[in-house]
Structures are given as C-alpha cells and as structure tokens.
C-alpha cells in the first residue's frame, strides 16, 4: 500500500497530523520478527483508529521469504489508548521489558524498584490519582506499591504496580496513566467485553482490564486462588 493510499485511509479519522504521519511511517516500515511479549508500549501500526470500544484494523509491514505484505488484525480499543488484537501483536520497536505486565508480575520481588506500603507516600510521585480497591478477597492484604524509574533514575509518575498477597498467593494490579506514550497493544485472547460500574472492561478467566477515567487498571489472578468474579468485586469497590 502506497503512502497516498494510507493518507486517504486516515483522512476520515479524528487524529492529529503528527500522529497520522507517524502511523503512515510505521505502516510502511519493515517489521522485525513477530513479537512474543504479551504487552507492548507505543503501538503505532494501525490502518484505522476508532473511538473507544469499537472495532479497528491494525496493519504492519512484515518480511517473509524476502517479500513484504500487510496483515490486518481486528480487535478492540479500550479507553482510546489500549489495543486488544485477535491476531499476533504487531512487531514494534523493542519496549522496556520491565513495563510489560508479564515481566512486572514475574519480578514482583525486585527490591531495586521504589516501593511503598502507604498509598499517600506513593501518590506523591504519581501524575494521576491512584485509587485502590476497598474490597479484597478473604485473606488478601496490600503488600506494597512499586513504582518505576526513568533512564536518569527519576521516578516515573505514569505507572504503578500494586501487589496484594495471601501467603504465597498473589493478586497483581498494574496501573497506567493512559496517553500516546504509555499506550500499548496486547492479544485479546479469550477476554470478553463487559461493563463494571459504567466503565467498559475486558474480562478473562483470571484477569480483568478496565479503563477508569483515563487510568488503566489491569488485574491478574494467575498466581491467586480467586477468579474473575473476585476481581470484578475489587473493581466495583474502586471509588
């Protein structure tokens, strides 16, 4: 697909000229091997960007046996900045692995990250209001809030990981202030669209993602003895 065809495809969308140019450049750039990580920052290879919670088409250029071609992925946009794909996640610039959901949950004992047990102390470093659930499944309690650091060792105000534990059991929550910088793509998998407290959400068997006023809350109970029903109760208690 030529650049003028891409411009025509983007012409009816409510996006800035800068973002349109960035999308065109990424759609015409040869991609690396298919991404293996579950979540990526800064996804930019889309043939269409739709409003929140609508179907969209994403494209990227991939080289196979020396030939380039475009693939389309149908998925869901949640909150305007989070893209859930029914196909493989498009290859992109290599992200910071510490910001993927899987890596953060796996390394939840990393003591090198700034950690807090008091919400007010953590809140002082964040650029968004972090709201924690008042309901926790039986036996679980807040273990700590972990923040991220930038390349110059300053604390980032856009991300926070929250860990709720019961012995060796763990409920993991990643929160992000959603914007172009923090946007990401992930596979839709078996998640289904639902609504909680008026907020659109995607629910899996042991995970739940919901955008609450521009902040993404991504719950995972993969290491817990609870299911999505308890995660829903946690979301319902966020005020």
The model's pTM? 0.62
The yes-or-no verdict on residue 236 having pLDDT over 60 is yes
Domain ranges in the chain are 3-85, 97-236
Predicted local confidence at residue 152, as pLDDT: 85
Predicted local confidence at residue 142, as pLDDT: 97
> What is the C-alpha to C-alpha distance for residues 78 and 73, in angstroms, rounded to an integer?
15
Those residues with Cβ within 8 angstroms of residue 162's Cβ, 6 or more apart along the chain or in another chain: 132, 142, 144, 145, 146, 172, 173, 174, 175
Across 125-136, b (16+ Cβ under 10 Å) vs e yields bbebebbbbeeb
The yes-or-no verdict on residue 227 having pLDDT over 90 is yes
Predicted local confidence at residue 235, as pLDDT: 97
Q: In which band, very low, low, confident or very high, does the pLDDT at 49 lie, cut at 50, 70 and 90?
A: very low
Instruction: Provide mean pLDDT across the span 151-169.
Output: 94
Pure H helices in the chain: 3-10, 17-27, 101-106, 119-123, 228-236
Of the candidates 56, 57, 185, 170, the one whose C-alpha atom is nearest the C-alpha of residue 105 is 170
Predicted local confidence at residue 172, as pLDDT: 97
Q: Give, in degrees to the nearest 5, the angle at Cα 188 between 182 and 189.
A: 140
């Amino acid at each position: 697909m030529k650049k003028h065809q891409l411009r025509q495809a983007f012409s009816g969308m409510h996006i800035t000229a800068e973002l349109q140019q960035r999308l065109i450049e990424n759609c015409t750039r040869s991609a690396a091997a298919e991404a293996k990580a579950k979540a990526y920052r800064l996804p930019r290879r889309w043939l269409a960007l739709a409003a929140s919670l609508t179907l969209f088409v994403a494209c990227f250029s991939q080289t196979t046996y020396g030939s380039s071609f475009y693939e389309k992925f149908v998925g869901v946009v949640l909150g305007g900045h989070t893209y859930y794909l029914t196909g493989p996640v498009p290859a992109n610039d290599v992200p910071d692995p510490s910001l993927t959901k899987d890596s953060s949950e796996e390394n939840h004992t990393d003591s090198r990250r700034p950690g807090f047990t008091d919400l007010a102390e953590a809140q002082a470093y964040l650029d968004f209001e972090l709201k924690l659930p008042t309901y926790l499944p039986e036996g679980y309690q807040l273990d700590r809030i972990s923040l991220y650091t930038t390349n110059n060792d300053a604390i980032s105000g856009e991300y926070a990981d929250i860990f709720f534990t019961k012995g060796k059991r763990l409920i993991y929550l990643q929160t992000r202030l959603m914007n172009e910088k923090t946007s990401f793509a992930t596979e839709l998998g078996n998640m289904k669209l639902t609504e909680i407290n008026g907020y659109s959400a995607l629910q899996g068997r042991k995970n739940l993602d919901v955008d609450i006023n521009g902040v993404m809350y991504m719950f995972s109970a993969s290491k817990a003895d609870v299911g999505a029903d308890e995660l829903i109760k946690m979301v319902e208690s966020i005020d």
